[in-house]
Amino acid sequence: MRVLENIQDRPITSRRRTGRCFWYDDFENYTAVITEKWLQFGGTVALSTAFPKQDKRCMLLTTGAGAGNQAIANIIMGSFPLGRFGIEFDFFSYNAAGIAAFQEVPYVGIRFVDLTWDCYAYIRYLGGANMLWQYYNQAGVWTNIPNGAYDRVEVGDLVANQPNYHNFKMVADFDTGYYVGLWIDSAYFNLEALRMNRTARLVADELVLQVDLSVRTTGAGGAVTMYVDNVILTDQEP
């Protein structure tokens, strides 16, 4: 069953109401630290009260300075049936040093592993002079999304101490191995002809659904930050 329009009240704000919400995080129900739910790799991942989209807290990812530094928040869940999954969240980035040309914000992915397939559906945005979206293709190569140019304000995401949050949603079909769609604010990119990185399992030793939210620097300069709020995971997407 695919849910074309979810009319049930969702626990947190959702701009795209397709699919069934099976997990969410508004970063309010924590005792003290982000690692109560999320794993952290590289850089710093922490709870923040500075610029939440709503309520009192959000997640803040901060890279180290210099090329190749990355801050990753990762969550791993149990097994799910193959199908269409989506991830939606709100984010904004700000870098006072002005190195927008050397950042990937956001860098988002869903990995699905079952007894047959190991699938990676990943999307990233290249900043600065690039200003375009890319997907991780069947060959494991980052490739420009067709008509994927998008002039998103970056260094100016924080104006007069007020964050300019963007809404992100990606849907991918792990049954067929194809992406489905990408929504950024009011823009929509049809991804149905694009194949994800999908390889046969050599050893059937795990059944997981893994989600990565990250920010990465690609050139010299200072640290890059990304604030994240209202993460929603969906299945049964149309």
* pLDDT tens-place string over residues 120-169: 999 998 876 678 899 999 999 999 999 888 766 554 465 656 788 889 99
Amino acid identity of residue 95, one-letter, is N
Is the CB of residue 26 less than 8 Å from the CB of residue 54?
A: yes
Query: Domain range holding 218?
Result: 20-235
Whether 73 is covered by a domain: the verdict is yes
In this structure, is residue 2 part of a structural domain? no
Is there a domain that residue 87 lies in?
Answer: yes
Q: Is residue 5 one of the residues assigned to a domain?
A: no
Residue 15 lies in a domain: no
Domain for residue 84, yes or no?
A: yes
pTM (2 d.p.)? 0.89
Task: Render the burial of 154-193: b for 16+ CB within 10 Å, e for the rest.
Answer: bbebbeeeebebbbbbbbbbbeebbbbbbbbeeeebebee
| Contact partners, residue 63, CB within 8 Å, separation at least 6 | 42, 43, 69, 70, 71, 215, 216, 217, 223, 224, 225
Q: Structurally, how many domains does the chain consist of?
A: 1
CATH number at residue 162: 2.60.120.560
Q: Please compute the mean of the pLDDT values over residues 199-212 and round it to a whole number.
A: 77
DSSP string covering 151-174:
----GGGEETTEE--EEEEEEEET
CA 77 to chain centre: 16
Residue 8 within a domain = no
Q: Is residue 3 part of a domain?
A: no
Give residue-wise pLDDT tens across range 60-102. Answer: 999 887 778 899 999 998 877 888 999 999 998 876 554 455 5
Instruction: Return the DSSP state at 195.
Output: B
Q: Token pair for residue 79? A: 């097994």
Predicted confidence at residue 150, as pLDDT, reads 79
Task: Provide the token pair at 210.
Answer: 């893994």
